[in-house]
Structure 1
Amino acid sequence: MSSSGLVGPEPVGEGAVEGWGVIERATELARSGEAFVLATVVWREGPTSGQRGSRAIYTAAGEMYGWIGGACAEPVFIREAIATLEAGTPRLLALGASDRFGDLPQGTTAVPMSCQSEGALQIYLEPVVAAPHLVIVGGSPMATTLSVLAAQLDWRVELVDRAEFSEGLLTPQSMVVVATQGHGDEDVLVAAFKADPAYVGLVSSARRGRSVRTLLADQGVGETQLGALRAPAGLDLGSTSHKEVAVSILAELVQLRAQGAFAATASAQASATPAAVDPVCGMTVQVDPATPSLQIGDEVFYFCCAGCRTTFARERGVA
């Protein structure tokens, strides 16, 4: 496997290439609430640039950090990381010439490769799904009760008042419950919608909810966001106490999460990146401006590395 490595778009220090820096980055991602796949080389047979214990991360946003192997391993890692993140279950990945695999553990995904180095790797891919992030805006007894209940589920909970709230607290995976009891509800909701969170709920009556939607529409909030607004938030339990309202909201959030409404998936851009098959080694490669290529007539060929491109050009008698 080629010595061309997988390095993140932002430098994270020397330790990132050695492995421990990747663990530090993984901790940062988990704390920030971003889902990702952590990959670790658990076995190798040389020659290959990937070493036992080499680590890399692929995030739901399509960013990569660390080192898992060379140019042949990289596109396979990206493809399988996306699949692992979407499935939400770990997998063991075997890369290399098929005669190097031997007896693989049951459930291993084997990807035969014909790279010139003839090395082989086994990589453990572990999806890390961040704890749900719930932001509750307001200081009512219901808001306090909801924060306590959600924290008991090990969710990341932030209870803030109206003055402390801003869209900067949210990510697209966040859930926000507005419990400001009619004090600046619309302003908080407008700010929340700017972050396009996974869930926006307003603690209100149905009548108040209709009024708020009208006011939000007048302020330019789009129909899609208005349609997604839960007002009133929570499952309809009829006449309830503030503690039961908190339970009904948490129950709705748990239900939606179980249905996959808040699941993080690999970015559409990363999933939609075009791919091609290297005509020399048979590897599937991601096509981007940095991918080695060769145009012969009207046809463009793409390669996993410069070596395969050189071999192909020599065989075709072109420069």
Structure 2
Amino acid sequence: MTTIADRARELTVSRAPFVHATVVRAQDPTSARPGDDAVILPDGTIEGFVGGVCAESSVRAAALDTLRDGITLLLRVLPDGTATFPDTPGALVVVNPCHSGGAIEIFLRPVLPVPVLGVAGSTPISAAVATLAAFLDFEVSTSGGYAGATAVVVAGLGKGEQDAVRAALDAGVGFVALVASRTRGAALLDELALTDAERARVHTPAGLEIGARSPQEIALSIMAEVVRALRVDGLASSPGAPAARPQQAIDPVCGMTVLVGPDTPHARVDGQDQWFCCAGCLARYTAA
């Protein structure tokens, strides 16, 4: 039987983003117990157990938020009418109107793929970039295959640059750094006859302007630009089309925000679709 730990390792190896959720405190009569855990996928699927269906709705919504910013979160789910916990940095308190059990605390840890940096060229600058990128916990690839790369640094200094840029763009890489002067870089891109969208993905001269001179300093400026693209500009660490965030709806009975999926309780009444946090709310709505 596959455990949650096994599933987490499998997702990590396949470079799939997910959230590992662990119950750290639970108050009777909630069905969850400390140590219960689950993984939440980008489409909202929950594998494992961190509480009943009402608690799962809150966990799912909060987990998908952590996937966007990569920041861990302590989620406190309280039944309606319970006094709130004191405000704590890094904690989110939600009052779940249909969560009739005791309070529960769940630690949400987003696990995002390690970014992959492709390095093209055999020069002192490319060697310095590879060394610094590894220090920054990037997975460095010098094989020339760019599928799955987060970014590619082309530092051939005149050797094979056009082929490397073209290959990176064709592989869907979102950030291509070309080490060249402004004039030579513009001329090289003109020869490639890139579309406007492709040209926007190529950054040349590569790196932030810090007055860099040595290969190590140039590598620092290049990696600073790559990190800024990841942390500030929203460059995806794992290329590819992100899973669409599930549609949200308001439960007309309890007022909870629910994420709409194949298993979400649903009813169509008077031509209107309604979604519910649990079967109990659905039954109360249809019985009214």
CA distance in 2, matches of 1:239, 1:125: 40
The amino acid of 2:244's aligned partner reads: Q
Q: 1:68-217 maps to which residues of 2 (within 5 A)?
A: 68-100=50-82, 103=85, 106-107=88-89, 108-115=91-98, 118-128=101-111, 130-158=113-141, 160=142, 164-170=143-149, 174-217=150-193
The amino acid of 1:112's aligned partner reads: V
CA, structure 1 residues 64+113, in 2 after alignment: closer, same or farther (shift >3 Å)? closer
* Offset at residue 255 of structure 1 (A): 4.5
Match of 1:50 in 2: 32
For residue 222 of structure 2, the aligned residue among 249, 258, 272 is 249
For residue 269 of structure 1, the aligned residue among 239, 244, 248 is 244
* Offset at residue 42 of structure 1 (A): 0.9
Q: Which runs of 5+ in 1 are unaligned?
A: 1-12
Aligned residues: 285
SS of equivalent to 2:183 = helix
Match of 1:24 in 2: 9
CA, structure 1 residues 262+64, in 2 after alignment: closer, same or farther (shift >3 Å)? farther
Match of 1:310 in 2: 283
For residue 195 of structure 2, the aligned residue among 193, 202, 222 is 222
Match of 1:10 in 2: none
Aligned residues of 1:277 and 1:302 also touching (Cα < 8 A): yes
Match of 1:235 in 2: 208
* Offset at residue 187 of structure 1 (A): 2.4
CA, structure 1 residues 103+254, in 2 after alignment: closer, same or farther (shift >3 Å)? closer
Q: Report the identity percentage.
A: 34
* Offset at residue 140 of structure 1 (A): 1.7
* Offset at residue 237 of structure 1 (A): 6.0
The amino acid of 2:36's aligned partner reads: S
TM-score by structure 1 length?
0.74
The amino acid of 1:118's aligned partner reads: G
Aligned residues of 2:116 and 2:148 also touching (Cα < 8 A): no
CA distance in 1, matches of 2:43, 2:205: 32
Aligned residues of 1:62 and 1:267 also touching (Cα < 8 A): no
Match of 1:280 in 2: 253
* Offset at residue 21 of structure 1 (A): 2.8
TM-score by structure 2 length?
0.81
CA distance in 2, matches of 1:111, 1:254: 33
SS of equivalent to 1:14 = coil
CA distance in 2, matches of 1:116, 1:253: 44
CA distance in 2, matches of 1:193, 1:92: 39
* Offset at residue 223 of structure 1 (A): 0.8
* Offset at residue 304 of structure 1 (A): 1.8
* Offset at residue 176 of structure 1 (A): 0.8
Match of 1:15 in 2: 3
SS of equivalent to 1:285 = strand
Aligned residues of 1:277 and 1:303 also touching (Cα < 8 A): yes
CA RMSD of aligned residues (A): 3.2
SS of equivalent to 1:38 = strand
CA distance in 2, matches of 1:305, 1:239: 59
Q: Which runs of 5+ in 2 are unaligned?
A: none
The amino acid of 2:120's aligned partner reads: V
CA distance in 2, matches of 1:199, 1:22: 31
CA, structure 1 residues 254+277, in 2 after alignment: closer, same or farther (shift >3 Å)? closer
SS of equivalent to 1:147 = helix
CA distance in 2, matches of 1:148, 1:264: 19
